[in-house]
Amino acid sequence: MLYLPLYALFLPKGLSGVSTSALLLQGIYQGIIAALVAAFSFAYATLSLGSGIASMMLAIVPGTTTLLAAPFLGEALTLTTLGGVALVSVGAALGAKVKKTAPTPTPLRHSPD
């Protein structure tokens, strides 16, 4: 909702050269199909793996996308890019291994009256 007004007012557009059917197909695919698949997949992962691990799995999505962009799209992988992917991957792995424990409640002490 924040991006659309900025895009409409200030950014260059080439949408006039695209057919309405192509725009509708892309909107339906990106807005409905991809969003629903992502939502149901994440819900299933959360139920299967737990919320902590499922959340940490989201951290490896940019790295995986970056690494797959090299062979499929011909993108160049620089040393900085690979270093960033490595740091994010290590952070996700460490975050997934941390065991969260609930604090032990302190017993209430009653004062003698």
Number of structural domains (the chain) is 2
Is residue 62 domain-resident?
yes
Which pLDDT belongs to residue 46?
92
Q: What count of other Cβ atoms lies within 10 Å of the Cβ of residue 40?
A: 10
Residue span of the structural domain in which 56 resides: 50-98
Whether 36 and 58 map to the same domain: the answer is: no
Are residues 38 and 74 part of one domain? no
Residue-wise pLDDT for 74-102, tens only, equals: 999 999 999 999 998 888 778 767 766 66
- Return the biggest CA–CA distance within the chain: 84
Asked, for residue 1, whether it belongs to a domain, the answer is no
Residue 80 covered by a domain: yes
Are residue 31 and residue 45 in the same domain, yes or no? yes
Between CA 77 and CA 2 the distance in angstroms is: 32
Are residues 60 and 91 both part of a single domain? yes
Res 108: pLDDT: 74
